[in-house]
Amino acid sequence: MSRPRTVFVDRDGVVNRKQPEGQYVNALSDFDLLPGSLEALAGFTRSGIKVVVVTNQQGVAKGVTDESVLAQIHSQLRAEVEAAGGRISQIQVCNHLAGSCDCRKPDVGLFEQARFQDPEIDFGESAVIGDSESDIEAAHRIGARAVLVTGQPGGSVRPDGTTEVADLTEALNLLTEPDHV
Ligand SMILES: [Mg+2]
Ligand SMILES: [Zn+2]
């Protein structure tokens, strides 16, 4: 399999620690980066792979996540990745309620929006890295490679072709290993 040119990276549970079910990251202080995630994001950039963050944030529609806080979190994340030597090309957010739009993953609107903004993006040369089945389903729908972050070492390949990894660092290693060149 060839090395992807773009990685679509889910946010909560991949870049930062996920909040307990039903809770959202509503403050800068709730945004708790997972170990190695900044370095891994920078590693994709260094490997010539475009990074697009795609995230469901229905807390905005529910009125519990403040959009200005979300924007603040994302500008800080961009700055931290840049300080680590990387670059986030785009951050695409679905801030709608489940069932009310066509962009909440597993729907593919966020991916299409990213490609609309950057026509160089080719879904067939992309990978989706996420910690939820909705990320994996979205990967299948756009025809991208699926990488599931499980938090558990010793990942395997599922019958549907999804590769399991412990974290974003392992995802970087998998997608940039020499036999992918
Ligand atoms: Mg997630
Ligand atoms: Zn949406």
User: Can you give the residue range of the structural domain that contains 153?
Assistant: 6-180
Q: Which ligand is nearest to the CA of 149?
A: 1
| CATH code where residue 169 lies | 3.40.50.1000
Beta-carbon contacts of residue 150 (< 8 Å; ≥ 6 apart): 131, 164, 165, 166
For residue range 5-36, list pLDDT tens digits in order.
999 999 999 999 999 888 888 889 999 999 99
Average pLDDT over residues 78-88: 98
Q: Is the pLDDT of residue 170 over 50?
A: yes
Average pLDDT over residues 65-84: 96
Answer whether residue 1 is part of any domain: no
Q: Which ligand is nearest to the CA of 100?
A: 2
Alpha-helix runs per DSSP H in the chain:
37-46, 67-83, 109-117, 133-142, 168-176
Report the pLDDT value the prediction gives residue 133, as an integer from 0 to 100.
97
Report the pLDDT value the prediction gives residue 22, as an integer from 0 to 100.
83
Q: Is 160 a residue of the active site?
A: no
Two structure tokens written together for 85: 């030597």
- Domain tally, the chain: 1
Q: Is the pLDDT of residue 61 over 90?
A: yes
Q: Is 167 a residue of the active site?
A: no
Active-site residue (options: 10, 131, 135, 167) = 10
Mean pLDDT (the chain) is 95
